[in-house]
Structure formats: C-alpha cells, structure tokens
Structure 1
Amino acid sequence: MNRLQAMELFVSAVREGSFSAAGRRVGLSPASVSRYIGELEAQLGVQLLNRSTRHLGLTDAGKIFFQRTEQVLHGIEDAEAAALSLQTAPRGTLRVHSRTLFGIKVLTPLIPGFQKLYPELKVELRLSERRPQLREGEFDVDFQIQAPTDPGLMQRRLLRSERILVASPDYVGRMPKLREPEDITRHNCLTYWMGPDDVVWKFMRRNKLREIVVPSSFSSNNGVVLCDLAVTGHGIALLDDYTVAEEVKSRRLVRLLPGFRVTNSTFDEGIYATFLQSSYRPEKIRVFVDYMAENVPKQVKRSAQ
C-alpha cells in the first residue's frame, strides 16, 4: 500500500463526501478508494470512517487523523513549492475563495491578466458567502470584507471601501423622500441575511451613531441577488461601494443619504487577502496576492469611471 496515496484519498473522501467523488479526482473506482482507506485503517488499527450508503462520517479517531493528515499534506505541498520556486515559475493549482459579489465584479476580470504572467499556474476560484477554514487546507487564499481574527492567518488589505444605500431611480421617484435615517422605516429594504434577528442598520454622521431596525420583505445571503433586485426597483439595498460602481455610474442605481456612513456590521470595511501563516509562503500565493494588491484598486477605479 502507498501510504501517502491512502492518506490523500482519505482526506479527499472526507472533503468530497464520498468514495466515488474522491476516486473521480484521481481516476480510481469507489471500490479501489475504499480498499486503500480500509488498508490504512488496518495498518493504524483504528476505524477512521463510519460508512453508510449515503454518508461518510468521521469517527473520533478519524477527526484527529483528518486534521493532522491535512497539515502533513499541506506541508508536503509547501515543501514542493519551495523547491520548485528556486528553479521554475509558479505552477500547480492555486485554490482561491472569495465573497460572491467581489469575486464576480472585481476578481474575475483580473484572472486573465494574471494567468498570462503565470501560464503554468491553474486557478480554482470558488464563490460563496461563508468563511472557509484555511487551516483545513481547502483553499490557499481567501478574500473577505473583514480582517481575520485567527492569529494563525496572515492578511493583506487590498482595498478600503464603504457601504452605501442604493435604489433604482424608479423606486426613488415613487416612494417617500429619504431625508433622515429614520425615514427608512417607511421603505422596503433588501437586507443581507445574517440570522433570524431583526436587521439593524447603523448610521454615522459627525460621530453621532443612530441604529435603526429596518423593515424588510426580502433578505438574501448573496449580494448579487440584492443588487439585481435593487436595480429592478424592488427596494433599498446596502452594498459595498465598489460592487455597485457600474450601476451607479450608469444611473441604474442612485446613492441615498450620502451624508451618512452606513453599515450593518462595522464601519472599518475593506477587502483582505488572507492565507495561512507559515515559515515559508508558497510562491504561487505570493505572486497572486502581490498581483491582486496592485490591480484590485485599479479595477475598482476603472469600474467607477
């Protein structure tokens, strides 16, 4: 048995949720994957997985082994990257995660230019609103709108931003005029889903804070959806300025209450590239973050012009 291959298959099966999915990644049948992992369990003398026809579950021993094995495999990848960086340009696969709206509006247009510089580097970009666990090795780089608090993560701020209230000209024309934050209670707000509690928007001017519980007939955890509904005239959305720059420039959306700073979380907003803290940063991560640090502000500026 190739022990390293068995460890890789075990981690892949846990991540993918099945032997068949893990096998497809490497060209093996589900039976072969199961056999490799079974031999690994026999060698260790412990059961790592609880198997059923529809689900793979980790045993207590499996949870510990999975965490440690991911660290080992990540260390091997770092060692390989360190050796390759001395002789060749970055290559392999760079796994990137981003918030959806930033990924679509800002990140995606920059990928072709990056890959022209590094054609041997494959980029896998996944978009969602969750915060992935970089320690588990699922991604190399994650783009988030708030700085990470985990001491094991490194961060680089790429962009400062602010959240703004926007609505379509049609909505503004047919609804009561919005002069003060309290007036928003007479409007329909398209809110970002953060849980079952009341939605509170914070307004700041001259260091005076006002917190308003806003009425909402629709919420979503996806900024693209909120932007699209705002454009159709369905209500007022609170979105990051760079994500609606094109819509504001083309007058599909107009900004409301520009004299106030507005947020649903913190006023210290921006885009952060985050990655694992380690003694050696793989070259593929270094060149990608450097490229984005240089080009993200330019892309945002182009969108607003």
Structure 2
Amino acid sequence: MQRWDRVEAFVEVVRLGTFAAAARQLKVSNSHVSRLVSQLEAQLGTTLLYRTTRQIRLTDAGALYYEHCHHLFDGLRDAEAAINDLQAQPRGVLKLTSATTFGERFVAPLINDFMRLNPQLEVRFHFTNRQVDIINEGYDIAIRMGTLKDSTLIARRLCERHEYVVGSPEYFARVPVPHTLSELSRHRCLVGSRDHWRFDIHGVRREVRVEGPWEGNSGPALLDAALKGLGLAQLPDYYVDPYLASGELISVLDAYRHDDTAVWAVYPRHRHRSPKVYQFIDYLVAHIEELLPVRRNFGPAHDEPSTTDAVEKSGKVP
C-alpha cells in the first residue's frame, strides 16, 4: 500500500530544494523528512536523490517519479481551494472586455445586476472590437464571438450566434437577389470590421473576400447602411432579427449560412478558482438568454449549394 506521506515529503524536498525547507513546509523535523524519503526509496527499490552536504540532485529515476507525482498534490491543493472558494463572496476588481455592441446590449446589464448582488465587487469593463491579449493586458474575462482559435484559455459557451447576409427591399428592387456565392462579386457589399464573409458549403467553412462602396468598423452604422438600401451586409442575429421580422431587411444566401459562431466567455486557466470569475460566468450563462432576441428562422427555403460554389471553394474559379 502506498504511503502518501513519503511521496509528499519527496515532492516537497524537490519543489523547495532542501530537506530543511520541506520540513518547515510540512511542520516536521528534518530527520523525519529524510527518513520518509529513505523509506520511499527502499519501497521503490531505487535511489531518487543524490545527497551532499551542500545540495540535493535528482537521479534519473527521481526526475521521472517527480514528474508523475507532483501534480497529484497540486490537484489536491486546487481541490481544497475550490471547496473553500465555493461559497466565497466575489470581491476585488473584475476586469473584462467585450465587443462593443454585444457588450453594451447584453453583458453590461448583467454585470450591473451582478454588482448589485455583490457590493464588494468593482468592475473595469472595456468595450472594443479589437481582440485583446487577455493575459498580457491583465483581463480576467473576455467575451469573444465566432469560432475560437486553439488557445491555452478556458472557454464557456454563452449562447448561439448566427450571421445573416441581408439587404433592404429598396436594394432588391434595383438588383436581383443572389442565389450563389459567386454572385456576390456583382453586388454592392458593405464591409464591416473584416473584409471577408464566412459561409458554409456542405459542412466546410468558406471565406469569401468582399468589397464595395462602404466600409466601417461600427456594427450599428453598417446596419443603418443596409437598412437605407446601400448594399448587402453580413451581420449577427442580434443586430438584424427585429428588421427581418418586420420585413425591413431580407435574408439571402441562407443555404450557406455559417452557424458555428457562438458567443464565448474566455479566461486564463489560473483564474478558474477566483469567485469573481467563475460566479460571474455562471451568472452570464444563467441569464444571458433572457436578454437575447427570440431565435427565428428567416428567409426563403434553403437551396442546396450549387456546383459553381463547390468548384469555387476549391479555388478553381477566381
């Protein structure tokens, strides 16, 4: 049967560098720590540490054993801290960032409600459409849209997010409705914060570069341009749902709509035990759907993507 006090003594000696430091950490004598490590070596049938009067050094076996064992005690400390934090009151400064419009409409009201429930909490909320470096810029949480890139950050899915290509009835009174992605080059495309639109062809993500007479990095301004018949725009559902319902905008190219564009709360791994972080994210997950527009399926019946677009995806059509 494994004696965990022996393993813990060995791990602390390696982590802290001396038997004396390990003894202070474990609140026992130096000789007791030395005896535990010796008993562990006898149990394993190998030497784990080279000892001299001035330093200790791991053997190859010791390095291998430490690599496999130290995380067990890290996990135990994390578990104990998590239990202690479970009922802790959020306090201190919570620094978060979000895309401007989504943050203003949906996240800000919830952080304000959360602060009313937790008066010891302070908030620093930065609205920007720039993707910030969360760790280097010191943020606790970032609200991000779309498909996440591989990252060391932890992510919680908050809600779905669908993007529509829309135009006004006034615009379509002048030009024909597009049915394939290749037809976009013949339309006035209103360009937002990115110069490519995302689509889906038979489960494969496709990006189409667009250009037109209007360009800007404001979602509300882009929406206004589409409503006034200046061209086509690709916008998230929380911008266009009311106007699709009223008929002021018409959704096109629905067969190609790329729907894997959720909204996420992301945060650094070392923040996962902080009550202000995990309790606020739990609050977001529980309440954000109450603020979002009712999800509807707008637009005509979906047509299958055409052969032209399947070829265009392969890069054979300019």
Q: Fold match, TM over 0.5? A: yes
TM interval, shorter chain, is: 0.5 to 0.7
**Which protein has the bigger strand share?**
1
| Structure 2 counterpart of 1:108 | 108
| Structure 1 counterpart of 2:167 | 167
The CA distance in 2 between the partners of 1:86 and 1:281, in whole Å, is 9
Which of 275, 278, 285 in structure 2 is aligned with 1:286? 278
| Structure 1 counterpart of 2:129 | 129
Aligned: 1:243 with 2:244: no
User: Structure 1 residues 165, 174: closer, same or farther in 2, change over 3 A?
Assistant: same
Structure 1 unaligned blocks of 5 or more: 1-80
The CA distance in 2 between the partners of 1:205 and 1:211, in whole Å, is 10
Aligned: 1:215 with 2:211: yes
Which of 274, 283, 287 in structure 2 is aligned with 1:295? 287
Deviation of 1:302 (Å): 4.4
**Cα deviation 1:23-59 (Å, max 9, x = unaligned):** xxxxxxxxxxxxxxxxxxxxxxxxxxxxxxxxxxxxx
Whichever residue aligns with residue 260 of structure 1, its letter is Y
| Structure 2 counterpart of 1:228 | 224
Structure 2 unaligned blocks of 5 or more: 1-80, 298-318
In terms of mean alpha carbon deviation, does 209-218 or 93-102 score higher?
209-218
**Cα deviation 1:157-210 (Å, max 9, x = unaligned):** 11222221012232223332223322222221112344xxxx443543445777
Deviation of 1:86 (Å): 7.8
| Structure 2 counterpart of 1:176 | 176
Is the Cα–Cα contact under 8 Å of residues 271 and 277 in structure 2 kept in the other structure? no
Q: TM-score, normalised by structure 2?
A: 0.58
CA root-mean-square deviation = 3.2
User: Structure 1 residues 281, 210: closer, same or farther in 2, change over 3 A?
Assistant: closer
Larger-Rg structure: 2
| Structure 2 counterpart of 1:258 | 254
User: Structure 1 residues 170, 285: closer, same or farther in 2, change over 3 A?
Assistant: same
- The count of aligned residue pairs is 216
| Structure 2 counterpart of 1:36 | none
Please state whether the residue corresponding to 1:95 is helix, strand or coil.
strand
The CA distance in 1 between the partners of 2:207 and 2:122, in whole Å, is 45
| Structure 1 counterpart of 2:120 | 120
Q: TM-score, normalised by structure 1?
A: 0.61
Whichever residue aligns with residue 133 of structure 1, its letter is D
User: Structure 1 residues 175, 104: closer, same or farther in 2, change over 3 A?
Assistant: farther
The CA distance in 1 between the partners of 2:92 and 2:109, in whole Å, is 21
User: Structure 1 residues 137, 214: closer, same or farther in 2, change over 3 A?
Assistant: closer
User: Structure 1 residues 125, 252: closer, same or farther in 2, change over 3 A?
Assistant: farther
